[in-house]
Structure 1
Amino acid sequence: MAGVLGLPEGSGGVLTSGGSAGNLTALLAARQAKAGFDAWNGGPTAGPPLTVLVPESTHYCIARSVRMMGWGSEGVTPVPVDARYRLRPEALEEALAAAKRAGRRPIAVVASAGSTATGAFDALDAVADFCAKHDLWFHVDGAHGASAALSPRYRHQVKGIERADSVVWDAHKLMMMPALITAVLFRESHRSFEAFAQEASYLFNGQDTRRWSDVALRTLECTKEMMALKLYTCLSTLGTKLFADSVTDTFDLSRRFAERLQSSGDFELAVSPDCNIVCFRHTPQGIPTSELDALQVRLRESLVTSGDFYLVQTTLGGRVWLRTTVINPLTTDEDLDALLNALRRAV
């Protein structure tokens, strides 16, 4: 997986149970590498308060992780996003300055490759440039979208991911594996031991003699199932083309769905999809704008209760949107047309 992303020789990682655990693991490694003090043994008060720069659209587990590490709410410094909910690279300098003015030591930037709400892909190369300039850890939350690297048609969306210090990639999303199988990948493989090490990197200068197979030294879990077996068996038996074709077909299908929403006349598209996450809302004639948010809530409840379709909802720009993740490889254009017709009947 590290090789597919373009990470260099010497990279490596570990499998863990879900994106939340994966992102926490990566941030713990970032803390050991960049804090400048031994927070593992001394705690968060052993040095200046830390923070990470994070796009406003990032998954909630990042804020949860920094709170678990004892950094408090200001452990996350938000970075504005643009109209497509992508991190604005030009806003990073001011976010960095704001964190320092607040008395915080920034140690990392988190970028998204397939954000949870809309599936947005941040400009990873630009973030990598910023991190290199300021000696910050560069982490990519690619839990959902890192699989784009498998697709020749959509690989460009993760350009720059090969420059990351750490990447989280969920195989149980676009690689069709059973949950949970999350890879936490590190540009320097020994960093995976540092996340839970008893000493910081500056104490042993990156020298590591521990075996890669000592998984309990590198993950939150002690006892866990052999999740690698499922992924390895599929890759060794089927190769990567099946998964590459699935990613490409799913992204294509989502784009066709977005085009039908735009041309429908009674649906509104939140943003053109970067991947397989599509946010939209039903806007039938005769419904006042002030009632559209409540309508989306009722529509979702109606469809989920009926059992025919499953939708979630999200809030973007202060408005409620329906959100679908086109991820089942058996989903067709006809299925998505049926979804729209079911929403029309449910009004």
Structure 2
Amino acid sequence: SIPKAVALLGIGRSNLRLVAVDDQFRMRPDALQAAIAADRAAGRNPIAIVATVGTIVSGAIDPLPEIADVAGREDLWLHVDGAYGVLAALALPERLNSLALADSLSLDAHKWLYQPLDCGCLLHRHPDIARKTFSHSDDYVGLLSQDPTEGFAFFEESFELSRRFRALKLWLSLQYHGRRAFRDAIAEDLRHARLLAEAVEAHPELELLAPVALSAVCCRHRAKDNRAILRRVNARGRVYLSNATVRDQFALRACFVNHRTTDGNVLEIVSEVIAAAGEVND
């Protein structure tokens, strides 16, 4: 999504810098600082940092306080891509309170607020900058909002014009169930991920391939063809797994974002992987 956004903005993908990560797949602040320094030395002008809360593979969370320090020193915009993971802040507020340091934040309610596709959201802490950026003239600003304290209507300047009322389903869900129901459901998903990780570590034929930061679990069978195992697991139809590549190894990936998941469903993943491995040739 980040290279796509850079291309759509006209910045050019060649101007996107990928920053090295640590052994837990989190952005390294020292590598970030070095990349900024290298660009400045080459006469380039860094403009923004994109940190991630909940990477798509392992759910890793970048060290936001340290990254925010770099952004402050270098006078750079800090955007947090929280499409999947940022909603864990409902269940883990003490772990993600540094989200308040971001200038902007994106999230997808259809991922961890249990909404149907497609429902995304952008949170922006600088409405004055938004108006200046997206408005064509001072008169146009006045048309959008007579009161400068009011929010900015981003839908007037987005790539889409006609669209459905996506926010209605989320608003109704929050009004009907209340925030506590979502907080409790997310906490259960986090617990289910830890339960699966423990079950994997307890089984001699399986191994974890990445730390479990949120609700994604990446593992593999130590001896069998994991691609064949994945095909067989999904063909059996009892559980469904996706895949990922972790340190050049093919991983079986389970991600818990369903409020109906039970402990039995979680433990069945291990039994299904072992059963599928028994049906796969060495």
TM-score normalized with structure 1 length: 0.73
- Specify the alignment match of 1:112 in structure 2: 52
- Specify the alignment match of 2:280 in structure 1: none
Whether the 8 Å contact between 2:17 and 2:35 is mirrored in structure 1 is yes
Whether the 8 Å contact between 1:119 and 1:273 is mirrored in structure 2 is yes
Task: Report the alpha carbon displacement of residue 238 of structure 1 after superposing the two structures with TM.
Answer: 2.2
C-alpha distance 180-193 of structure 1, shift in aligned 2 (>3 A) = farther
Cα distance between partner residues in 2 of 1:133 and 1:180: 37
RMSD: 2.0
**Unaligned stretches of 5+ residues in structure 2:** 146-150, 278-282
Cα distance between partner residues in 2 of 1:346 and 1:237: 41
Task: Report the alpha carbon displacement of residue 137 of structure 1 after superposing the two structures with TM.
Answer: 0.2
Cα distance between partner residues in 1 of 2:103 and 2:40: 22
Q: How does 1:1-347 map to 2 (within 5 A)?
A: 61-151=1-91, 154-193=92-131, 196-198=134-136, 210-211=144-145, 212=151, 214=153, 216-283=155-222, 287=223, 295-347=225-277
Whether the 8 Å contact between 1:99 and 1:106 is mirrored in structure 2 is yes
Whether the 8 Å contact between 1:197 and 1:217 is mirrored in structure 2 is no
Task: Report the alpha carbon displacement of residue 208 of structure 1 after superposing the two structures with TM.
Answer: 5.8
- Specify the alignment match of 1:43 in structure 2: none
Segment drifting more, 160-169 vs 265-274: 265-274
**Local SS of the residue matching 1:156:** coil
C-alpha distance 156-218 of structure 1, shift in aligned 2 (>3 A) = farther
Cα distance between partner residues in 1 of 2:269 and 2:204: 16
Q: Which has the higher contact order (CA 8 A, sep 6+)?
A: 1
Task: Report the alpha carbon displacement of residue 194 of structure 1 after superposing the two structures with TM.
Answer: 5.3
Cα distance between partner residues in 2 of 1:273 and 1:190: 39
Whether the 8 Å contact between 1:277 and 1:324 is mirrored in structure 2 is yes
Number of residues paired by the alignment?
Answer: 270
TM-score normalized with structure 2 length: 0.88
1:235-271 CA distances to partner (integer Å, 9 max, x unpaired)? 1222200011011111011111111111111111112
Instruction: Tell me the percent identity.
Output: 30
**Unaligned stretches of 5+ residues in structure 1:** 1-60
Q: Which amino acid aligns with 2:265?
A: D
**Local SS of the residue matching 2:112:** coil
Cα distance between partner residues in 1 of 2:142 and 2:72: 25
1:28-79 CA distances to partner (integer Å, 9 max, x unpaired)? xxxxxxxxxxxxxxxxxxxxxxxxxxxxxxxxx1012212333333221111
